[in-house]
Chains A and B, each alone.
Chain A
Amino acid sequence: MKKEEEINFQKSEDFSRTMIPGAFARKMRTCLIWQFIRFVIINVKMIIVVGKSH
């Protein structure tokens, strides 16, 4: 059974030794609800980092 996201493992030895996101992980990257949540979390973390840096 062909899984699109796994094809690249075969393309080079370097590729075969790393990790490649599966279909679910990829989907979540553009899932609006999840990304909105991540947007809030990342912003909060970045604001803390900015605060710690000043």
Chain B
Amino acid sequence: MARLVVLGGGVAGHTTATFAAKWLGSAHEVVVVTPNAKWNWIPSNIWVGVGQMTKEEVTFDLASVYAKAGITYKQAKAVSLNPEGNSSSDKAFVTIEYTGQDKDGTSENIEYDYIVNATGPKLNFDATPGLGNGEGQMGNNTVSVCTAEHAVHASHKLTEAIEKMKKGERQRFLIGTGHGMCTCQGAAFEYIFNIEHELRKAGVREMADMKWISNESFLGDFGMGGLHMKVGGYVVSSKLFAESLFAERDVEWLIGAHTSKVEAGKVEYELLDGSKGEEEFDFAMLIPPFAGVGIKAYDKAGEDITGTVFAPNGFMKVDAKYDAGAYENWKASDWPRTYQNPTYSNMFAAGIAFAPPHLISKPMSSPNGTPINPTPPRTGMPSGIIGKAVAHSVCDLMTKGESAHLHEASMAEMGAACVASAGKGIFTGTAAAMTVYPVVPDFEKYPGTGRDTDYTFGEIGLAGHWIKHILHFLFIYKAKLNPGWTLIPE
């Protein structure tokens, strides 16, 4: 009996572990190590952040689901990897530290035959002074919707702001990215329009000044270098699409901005032209930059090999072309296909945890040398698809032997469906429904836009909102492994 250890029970890890457990049956063991007791459908945190859903509606307990699937569940975080074992054993192992199951703080070594790192991002609030509390957590100056708990807090702050407006006090809202190297602009984009919708519903929109701050060099970049889509018979840039939405909803924008410091009620920023400025706010939601979760790696002799296994940003190295060089040389083929670590063939990374070869957006920096560009997004759909492909590969390796063919899932050959809610309500809500194919543009295959414009489109309306709602129930249904779960695509 061989053992697969999956680190992280989020979108990618949960997909890998549940499919692997199904395919392997009881012949092999699947272990999930994840510090959270609950699974969270993160996209719906946006609705929690505006008080339209509760935390309970977007989360569920993992223990019973893993018990049902025959998965060994360790509520713990991975601390370090020993892919060659140590002085007393040749067997690879991961060291974990419990965060629950009545063993908080206790360490354990788990041996593995295969390991999948799906630990997602570290929310690196401390990268921007004042955005974090100096101890790795979010500070008091802004709110966040990155976790369900953060979203509940954000919703309370929003209610307070609405109460103030009802009493005649104007409020300034600042939403966007909290650093020049952030990704996940889509989440902030959704949140600002959901707030706008809620303010309108509460009858206080006229009392609010709303502003978007982002590291994108143009509105609608979304970390993908923007996209071109078919609208009304034209092929247009997402810049026009996004600007139109902002103008329509009276939301100003500040782009090409690196948020350099956050204080109570104020941010300092640097723009791509090198100029510096300040923006005051009463309510701010700024997405933190992402980094790897900081797992260390050691060789058999105990020497630190973290730099061999992980990229400097803490994400795990996989089969990507990390030496592609300047922007002009970037190709779709730089992107990984199997997500296998180049040094240790029994190690894979899935979802946000893998190190991308480079940005997708054009790299930019201010004349002062400050990089101000979005890092590549790895949204839910790619994370799920990669998680499933990795599960397939590992299962084949375990059952057919080391020469088994590895399954492939390149982000340059994969699409993403993104439905950005712009207000909740079955008949009043709207959403920008977007699909992009492929996520990473391939200018050799699709000269001009880099993407297939038959399948790269976006439109705003109730239909998108219904889809978003259905996806919420569908993905939670699937993640709970309810009957027919394997039929629901990632």
Q: Which residues of A pack against B, CB within 8 Å?
A: 5, 8-9, 11-12, 14-15, 17-21, 28-30, 32, 34-36, 38-39, 42-43, 45-50, 52-54
Contact of A45 among B250, B435, B462 (CB under 8 A): B435
Chain B residues within 8 Å of A46, by CB: 417, 433, 435, 467
B460 lies within 8 A of A29 (CB):
yes
B415 lies within 8 A of A29 (CB):
no
CA distance A11 to B248 in the complex (A): 11
**What would 11 A/B residue contacts be, using CB atoms closer than 8 Å?**
A8-B247, A8-B250, A14-B252, A14-B253, A15-B246, A18-B240, A20-B247, A38-B461, A46-B435, A53-B413, A54-B385
The residue on A at minimum CB distance from B466 is A39
A42 lies within 8 A of B413 (CB):
no
B461 lies within 8 A of A53 (CB):
no
The residue on B at minimum CB distance from A49 is B415
In the complex, how many angstroms separate the beta carbon of A7 from the nearest chain B beta carbon? 9
A53 lies within 8 A of B385 (CB):
yes
B447 contacts the other chain (CB 8 A): no
In the complex, how many angstroms separate the beta carbon of A16 from the nearest chain B beta carbon? 8
The residue on A at minimum CB distance from B385 is A53
B247 lies within 8 A of A52 (CB):
no
B461 lies within 8 A of A30 (CB):
yes
CA distance A49 to B379 in the complex (A): 15
B186 contacts the other chain (CB 8 A): no
B463 lies within 8 A of A39 (CB):
yes
Contact of B252 among A12, A18, A29, A52 (CB under 8 A): A12
Chain B residues within 8 Å of A38, by CB: 459, 461, 463
B462 lies within 8 A of A30 (CB):
yes
The residue on B at minimum CB distance from A30 is B462
The residue on A at minimum CB distance from B239 is A18
The residue on A at minimum CB distance from B417 is A46
B244 lies within 8 A of A53 (CB):
no
A53 lies within 8 A of B414 (CB):
yes
B489 contacts the other chain (CB 8 A): yes
In the complex, how many angstroms separate the beta carbon of A54 from the nearest chain B beta carbon? 6
Contact of B415 among A15, A39, A43, A50 (CB under 8 A): A50
In the complex, how many angstroms separate the beta carbon of A46 from the nearest chain B beta carbon? 5
CA distance A17 to B240 in the complex (A): 9
B243 lies within 8 A of A18 (CB):
yes
In the complex, how many angstroms separate the beta carbon of A34 from the nearest chain B beta carbon? 8
8 Å CB interface, B424-460 against A: 427-428, 430, 433, 435, 437, 455, 457, 459-460
B207 contacts the other chain (CB 8 A): no
A8 lies within 8 A of B248 (CB):
yes
8 Å CB interface, B372-388 against A: 381, 385, 388
Given contacts A15-B247, A20-B247, 15 further A-B contacts (CB under 8 A): A14-B252, A19-B244, A20-B244, A20-B248, A21-B244, A39-B462, A39-B463, A42-B463, A42-B467, A47-B489, A48-B455, A50-B490, A52-B414, A54-B385, A54-B388
B120 contacts the other chain (CB 8 A): no
A36 lies within 8 A of B247 (CB):
no
The residue on A at minimum CB distance from B247 is A15
Chain A residues within 8 Å of B357, by CB: none
A28 lies within 8 A of B240 (CB):
no
B386-422 interface bits toward A, Cβ cutoff 8 Å, 1 = contact, 0 = none: 0010000000000000000000010001111100000
B83 contacts the other chain (CB 8 A): no
Chain B residues within 8 Å of A45, by CB: 435, 455, 457
B464 contacts the other chain (CB 8 A): yes
Chain A residues within 8 Å of B462, by CB: 29-30, 32, 35, 39
Chain B residues within 8 Å of A18, by CB: 240, 243-244, 246-247
B247 lies within 8 A of A35 (CB):
no
Chain A residues within 8 Å of B388, by CB: 54
In the complex, how many angstroms separate the beta carbon of B356 from the nearest chain A beta carbon? 17
CA distance A8 to B490 in the complex (A): 40
B250 lies within 8 A of A11 (CB):
yes
A54 lies within 8 A of B463 (CB):
no
The residue on B at minimum CB distance from A28 is B461
The residue on B at minimum CB distance from A5 is B248
A53 lies within 8 A of B415 (CB):
yes
B247-258 interface bits toward A, Cβ cutoff 8 Å, 1 = contact, 0 = none: 110101100000
The residue on A at minimum CB distance from B433 is A42
CA distance A36 to B433 in the complex (A): 14
CA distance A46 to B456 in the complex (A): 10
Contact of A14 among B243, B385, B430 (CB under 8 A): B243
In the complex, how many angstroms separate the beta carbon of B272 from the nearest chain A beta carbon? 16
